[in-house]
Structure 1
């Protein structure tokens, strides 16, 4: 009887695992798909971007002359966040610990100094990934125009 219960439980578990939410479209895109989306955005918009080893693209508009931020810095930035179709999803001026934001910012912001400006084109795996997050659809390539106002 115990064997039957164990086998039945395992069959039920496997069956339920196979019933995942496949219709939501939340499967992750591949790095190659993300890169193709970013390259299309760069080409379509005439952006002169450099590919970072992490997979994000960046364009330094102004390098800045002040302090260079580290992962342990608190930074103040003025920014606009858009999707590749240029629809804005966020923006403003904010202060925050650099170590507490998306990985794309942790990698990209230290490429400039205080007073600098940068465009970051960030793949989903360095942003919010496959799943929707606070109104941002899963698998979104995010574009940020950032001015680094202060580094502490």
Structure 2
């Protein structure tokens, strides 16, 4: 018994075209769905802001803009205390903190993004900077600041001094106050005679 192969009918060209068009449409639809995926507003803001005029991004992801250059070349370090005027806002424009007067801030005692920004500034400069969540409070809410917030600050750096110098000045001031109030702690006020021993 012999098996005879039956030739298949040739596929018409227009059917192949439909198949390829269908495959192409499937890829286009998949790409459209991917583009409609929810976009993280923090990521979207930082990506857009990075290209705004005058904005510089550091390797850590801190973004800043020089509003007014300062004098000299010296910049605060982690061992300094900076004297600043500042205002902190959320991306929706809500002010969450604002100095009422020049405020001393230990450079190493603030969130990493604020510390990094201070170390970029010279005395007398005014900067605007945007701190991404990982350089701020991250996934932790802090008072009026929601979790995963970008912190936008405007900061004037008025001056800075070493923290050790500030501590020494504070100790001298305390000693002067004690002397004005009658001397060292435990000392008798002026004009008071201590009782004789045994009385």
What TM-score do you get using the length of structure 2 for normalisation? 0.55
Q: Secondary structure at the match of 1:125?
A: helix
Q: Is the 8 A contact 1:35 1:55 kept in 2?
A: no
Deviation readout 1:68-92 (Å, 9 max, x if unpaired): 1011110010001001111111111
1:51 aligns with 2:60: no
Q: Is the 8 A contact 1:42 1:48 kept in 2?
A: no
Q: How many residues align?
A: 119
Residues in 1 aligned to 2:67 and 2:83: alpha-carbon distance in whole angstroms: 18
Q: Which residue of 1 aligns with 2:191?
A: none
Deviation readout 1:41-60 (Å, 9 max, x if unpaired): 567xx653111100111001
Q: Secondary structure at the match of 2:119?
A: helix
Deviation readout 1:77-117 (Å, 9 max, x if unpaired): 00010011111111113102110001011111111101011
Residues in 1 aligned to 2:89 and 2:50: alpha-carbon distance in whole angstroms: 14
- Greater radius of gyration (CA): 2
Q: Which residue of 2 aligns with 1:145?
A: 154
**Higher strand fraction (1 or 2):** 1
**After the TM superposition, which residues 65-104 of structure 1 pair with which residues of structure 2 at under 5 Å, given as runs?**
65-66=71-72, 67-92=74-99, 93-104=102-113
Larger relative CO (CA 8 A, sep 6+): 1 or 2? 1
Residues in 1 aligned to 2:56 and 2:77: alpha-carbon distance in whole angstroms: 21
1:129 to 132, 138, 145: 138
Residues in 2 aligned to 1:148 and 1:137: alpha-carbon distance in whole angstroms: 27
Closer, same or farther: CA 88–136 of 1 in aligned 2, 3 Å: same
1:39 Cα deviation (Å)? 3.4
Closer, same or farther: CA 47–122 of 1 in aligned 2, 3 Å: farther
1:33 Cα deviation (Å)? 6.0
Point out where structure 1 has 5 or more consecutive residues left out of the alignment: 1-31
Q: Is the 8 A contact 2:129 2:154 kept in 1?
A: yes
Q: Secondary structure at the match of 1:111?
A: coil
Q: Secondary structure at the match of 1:70?
A: coil
